[in-house]
Structure 1
Amino acid sequence: MEKESRKIVGNPALLLVDPQKGIHKAPGGYAEGEVDASIHALKLVLTAAREAGMPVIFFQEIHRKEMVDYGRELDGTENIHCLEGSEYIDILESLQPIDGEFTNMKRRYSCFFGTDLDILLRGLNVQTLIMGGYYTDVCVHYTAVDAHQNDYYIRVLHDGCLGSSQAAHQASLNAMTYLQHASKTDSAEMVPLIEAWGKARRASV
């Protein structure tokens, strides 16, 4: 089978993985400006998706205050995080969902694990997932792997992600590109492609 190199195959959706206020408390030695730059990249793509009429899906990682749903998440480097009631679980102000967009909660890293994301995507007839969010090497990476294994095309916004460290960020981007060569993208590439997709969509109606 010929490798698919087009960036948008079939119907796309934008998936924002955990764009939560806790990113400003992120480890990894990132400067405040780097965090803000990644949020700005997501905002650019989100604005283009909305104008194009593309489905937009938000995920938040949220854990019960009783801490009964962490499973093995605290066995590694991560500390207690994303507890319900904390201000840090809220979606960033500049990326707030609007009416008609989809919001979802998850208890694990992957947006597919224990959620109805696959049902939602199939209901929307989506083939291509444009993805960004936090952290690259955790929730974004694991979601991308599950999307790949469920036969979706993945397009990862390299400027719209940050990792638990800069080394982990790059390693995960490399790993996702290994799975799908065309997954590598950024806001500068995707915005005009989304705009063109929206124009073609409107012309076909």
Structure 2
Amino acid sequence: MTIEAKPEPIRIDLGKCAVLVIDMQNDFGAKGGMFNRAGIDISPIERAVAPTMRAVAAARSAAMPIVYLKMQHTADLANAGRFAAPHWIKHKPLGVGETVVSPDGRPSRVLVEDTWNTDILPSLTPIEGDVIVPKHRYSGFFETNLDGILRDRGIEYLVVTGCTTSICVESTIRDAMFRDYHCLLLEDCTGEPIANDSPRSNHEASLLTVQLLFGWVSNSAQFVKALAG
């Protein structure tokens, strides 16, 4: 199929295409999650949920694989980086590893696997047949089996959704491009709190970077339309 996109339309082989849903989990997009507890505005991520639901539903109807990436660390935080490593330094102020109480009253931990905090947002809960890939750095390809999963399925095209646009989404797209995947980012299916109230947001800057040098940019309406056609 051909999808209208920037900087030009992109033709995608449906039999070689998968959808990535990056980090659409409670810690980033839900009340009581890590971002919300830290006073970070999660509304850009919340706005991306409904378009992502429509894109994922359309992709499932077309029998496209759906791959969820989840940002999480082991309970002992062994994969969070050594003490004073940059990843640890940047995440410690956000409370990574701290014990908290989830909105439903259960004990949980910030950005730790097998807890409410790292569960996928309820409206985007994976179904049987979807693939879930845990990750512990911004890029979905760093020390994960994502590349192997995609190669085994013959995937060459990635339709990318998730959060946040300029961090985990852009990091994953960069690594995908280095591995020769064709990436189509759906701009309304991603959100970015950083500089959201600035004249030009990080979200907008990442969209421009992607369409110029790393892939293509479209939206959920164009994606759904192309699949219907």
When the two structures are superposed, what TM-score results if normalisation uses the length of structure 1?
Answer: 0.84
Match of 1:17 among 18, 22, 27: 22
Identical aligned residues as a percent: 28
CA 64–44 in structure 1, closer or farther in 2 if over 3 Å, else same: same
Shift of 1:175: 1.6
Specify the code of the residue in structure 1 equivalent to 2:10. R
Q: For 2:19 and 2:228, how far apart are their aligned partners in 1?
A: 13
Bigger helix share: 1
Partner of 1:75: 89
Q: For 1:129 and 1:89, how far apart are their aligned partners in 2?
A: 23
For structure 2, list consecutive stretches of 5 or more residues without a partner in the other structure. Answer: 1-6, 97-109
CA 21–144 in structure 1, closer or farther in 2 if over 3 Å, else same: same
**Segment of structure 1 superposing worse, 116-125 or 142-151:** 116-125
Q: Say if 2:12 is the partner of 1:8.
A: yes
Partner of 1:99: 128
Match of 1:185 among 208, 211, 218: 218
Q: For 1:100 and 1:73, how far apart are their aligned partners in 2?
A: 32
Match of 2:48 among 19, 24, 38: 38
CA 133–21 in structure 1, closer or farther in 2 if over 3 Å, else same: same
Partner of 2:210: 176
Contact 1:17 1:132 in 2 (8 A): yes
Partner of 1:111: 140
Indicate the SS of the match to 1:40. Answer: helix
1:118-137 counterparts in 2 under 5 A?
A: 118-137=147-166
For structure 1, list consecutive stretches of 5 or more residues without a partner in the other structure. Answer: 197-205
Question: For residues 165-190 of structure 1, what are the alpha-carbon distances to aligned partners after superposition, in whole Å with 9 as ceiling and x for unaligned?
Answer: 12222222222122245x11110111
Partner of 2:174: 145
**Segment of structure 1 superposing worse, 54-63 or 8-17:** 8-17
Shift of 1:28: 5.0
